[in-house]
């Protein structure tokens, strides 16, 4: 009886903590409320499963507790119960996976008018690159990485000369416009994550991954690394500033291009 009562109290305490807890989702600042909806749905389904299983255990402890003269019934198989459990489990799995697959389909379907921004992770800072007036990002390769070219841009690629390079500083984005975030890593696996945007993705060496979102609220938001990347992992932070289009363009005009900040582009131009 004591164990059965303890299980019931665990269920009551868990539900009360969930409903009354001050820790909840950070207010969203992007179009990805669908991710919040999927998380809440997952909580409801797994929470219902938790309550049912724990209360069933408490019921069994009470209903089939030891009594003098009571004989245990031995029933090694029950096809009806097995089929019922399989069907309920399958329905639960579908309910958990289907919404996520629908959201994922949207998550990787980038609008045609989305602006591209490259986010480069390296131990232990974030760097950013935006296309210049030509609207194209130049190609990059790790063989070009050095102190003058930390992002490894190809100095011979004309599309990269006007790219805006931001190393160890804030990234600015225009409010209400879709952004495709291209993710690259110089060394180990990182993960670019802004909690308010609900969008994140691993940054894997040798690959270019991506996600997209629309900033829906002006403000300054902290970006984190959500993949353990070494001893400096907790300090790998930067700010993403969301502002009006005019403010964004004013900030953009003050930034340096790759051609202005790297002597490699000057040498490449001289060779031509």
152: left (phi over 0), alpha (psi -120 to 50) or beta: left
Q: What values do phi and psi take at 74, rounded to 5?
A: -100, 115
Calculate Rg over the CA atoms of the chain.
27
Q: Report, as ranges of residue numbers, the positions in the chain whose pLDDT lies below 70.
A: 262-272
pLDDT score, position 181: 93
The per-type count for the chain, helices as H runs and strands as E runs, is 6, 10
What CA–CA distance (Å, rounded) separates 30 from 176? 9
Strand ranges across the sheet with 190-194 = 171-174, 238-243, 219-225, 190-194, 199-203
Comparing C-alpha atoms, which of 114, 119, 115, 156 is closest to residue 138? Answer: 156
Question: What pTM was estimated for this model as a whole?
Answer: 0.76
pLDDT computed for residue 29 by the predictor: 93
User: How many angstroms from the chain centroid is the CA of residue 141?
Assistant: 25
From residue 65, how far is each of 34, 72, 272 by CA, in Å?
46, 10, 89
The pLDDT score that the predictor gives to residue 262 is 65
d(CA 191, CA 207): 13
151/140 Cα distance (integer angstroms):
7
* 117-143 confidence digits (pLDDT tens): 999 988 888 989 998 887 888 888 778
């Amino acid at each position: 009886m004591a164990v059965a009562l303890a299980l019931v109290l665990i269920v009551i305490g868990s539900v009360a903590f969930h409903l009354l807890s001050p820790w909840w989702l950070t207010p969203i600042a992007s179009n990805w409320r669908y991710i919040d909806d999927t998380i809440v749905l997952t909580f409801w389904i797994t929470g219902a499963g938790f309550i049912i299983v724990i209360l069933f255990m408490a019921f069994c402890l009470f209903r089939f507790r030891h009594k003098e003269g009571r004989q245990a019934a031995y029933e090694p198989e029950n096809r009806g119960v097995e089929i019922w459990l399989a069907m309920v489990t399958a329905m639960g799995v579908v309910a958990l996976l289907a919404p996520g697959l629908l959201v994922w389909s949207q998550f990787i379907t980038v609008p045609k008018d989305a602006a591209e921004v490259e986010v480069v992770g390296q131990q232990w800072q974030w760097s950013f690159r935006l296309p210049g007036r030509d609207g194209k990002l130049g190609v990059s390769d790790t063989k070009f990485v050095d102190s003058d070219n930390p992002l490894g841009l190809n100095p011979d690629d004309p599309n990269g000369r006007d790219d805006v390079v931001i190393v160890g500083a804030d990234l600015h984005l225009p409010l209400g416009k879709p952004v495709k975030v291209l993710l690259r890593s110089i060394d180990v696996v990182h993960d670019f994550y802004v909690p308010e945007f609900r969008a994140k993705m691993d940054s894997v060496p040798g690959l270019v991954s991506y996600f997209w979102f629309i900033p829906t609220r002006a403000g300054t938001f902290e970006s984190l690394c959500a993949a353990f990347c070494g001893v400096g992992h907790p300090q790998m932070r930067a700010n993403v500033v969301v502002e009006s289009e005019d403010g964004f363009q004013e900030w953009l005009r003050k930034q340096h291009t790759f051609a202005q900040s790297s002597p490699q582009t000057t040498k490449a131009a001289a060779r031509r």
